[in-house]
Amino acid sequence: MKDVGKISIIGLGLMGGSFALALKNKGFKGTITGYDISKNCVKKALRSQAIDVAAENLRDAVIDAEVVVIAVPLGKYETVLGETGKYLSSNCIVTDLGSVKMQALEMADRLLPKYIHFIGGHPMTGSERGGFEAADPFLYENAYYFLTPEDDTPADAIKTIESMVKNLGAYTVCLSPSQHDLIVSRISHLPHILAITLVNFIDKNMGISHLPFVGGGFRDTTRIASGDPNIWKDILFTNKGEIIKSIESFQLLLDEFKYCLEHDKDENIIQFLRNAKSIRDGVPHHGRDYMSPLYEITVSIEDKPGTIAELTQLISSNNINIKQIEILHSRQNKGGALRLAFESEKDQNSVLEILKQNGFYNIHCL
């Protein structure tokens, strides 16, 4: 990691707390100062040694910091930027973890001194849980991490933040703030709206609750609806322009699907289904332009306690690191399948032989 002596993290909930824990876990030798309006969060962060210094206020948090990481809800940016700007040193770089970048940049340009470089950041990771108690030192590992520097941002400042992000184990993706907001409106914000709408639809459809009868498919589809309502309110209104356009585009596609059903267009429907299956089956391969290639296999496993643990222990005992793992399907009292991804073709081939020699079956390279 590029030499940074002092990092200040404003907000010690899930994202900020995980950021601090990840830095410490990766061996960061500098000082981490933390601030949060919740004194309880600060105490927990100190007790877990995620931070070295607990600041009493925003002023004390940012003085002499070389990097300031804003990890608060979007609705709090105005306060944080407004109250810290005049205390930032001239060599300080400010970044954030928010999921909307155009408005964050606008506030930074308006509220921070002109000599301060703001580099927007958005890690594509998280959890339905919140608070420092949910913080995880491995939250950022293997996650895409968007960075949205301005055209005139110095290369050294960008390299400093890129180095910090890579040290967390994440993959950096640089693009413009407007490109970012368009992308996340479609892959993150619209799916959240669909999840919450579906839950509300099922719960109160014609006055009858269907929720007692839902299964795993419904729970998987709507898992993200459990996100913090206040945080999501800020996100949705902050990026509402792009989100509204995404909703309108989605409505057109839904209307087309409805039309095909109404008019018995069975070939069109099967094409919808085939296309969706093909795209969804390929999701783990997407984004390869942004990160190092991974070498994947699938393996069938028996549905019984300890099988996954046995498999992963077998691989790790041979000093091979699993970069990604995904349960592809699981059926009660029957078999399931795992997708495993590795950093090199050598690791992939080694795992193939190890699993075959130890009685695992139906193993395929992807």
Sheet of 6-10, strands arranged across: 53-54, 31-35, 6-10, 67-70, 93-96, 117-123, 144-148, 171-174
Span 6-175 CATH architecture: 3-Layer(aba) Sandwich (3.40)
Q: What is the pLDDT of residue 152?
A: 92
Within 13 A of 311's CA, how many CA atoms are on the CB side? 27
Which pLDDT value is given to residue 45? 95
Where are the domains positioned within the chain?
Answer: 6-175, 180-284, 292-365
pLDDT of residue 127: 75
Q: Under a CB-based contact definition with an 8 Å cutoff, are residues 330 and 215 in contact?
A: no
Integer Cα distance of 314 and 320 in angstroms:
9
- pTM, full prediction: 0.73
The pLDDT, as a whole number, for residue 333 is 41
Class of domain 292-365 as given by CATH = alpha beta
Q: Which residues contact residue 9 at a Cβ distance below 8 angstroms, ignoring those fewer than 6 apart?
A: 16, 19, 20, 32, 33, 34, 35, 51, 69, 71
Q: Which CATH fold would you assign to the domain 180-284?
A: 6-phosphogluconate dehydrogenase C-terminal fold (1.10.3660)
Token output for 230: 């206040």
Q: Tell me what percent of the chain is helix, strand and coil, each rounded to the nearest 5.
A: 50, 15, 30
Cα–Cα distances (Å) from 241 to 100, 114, 140, in that order, read 11, 28, 28
Q: Looking at residue 205, what is its pLDDT? A: 62
pLDDT for res 291? 43
pLDDT of residue 208: 58
- Split the chain (366 residues) into runs of 10 and give each run's mean pLDDT: 87 96 94 96 95 96 97 94 95 96 96 95 85 91 93 95 94 94 93 92 68 74 84 91 96 96 95 90 51 74 83 92 75 63 89 89 77
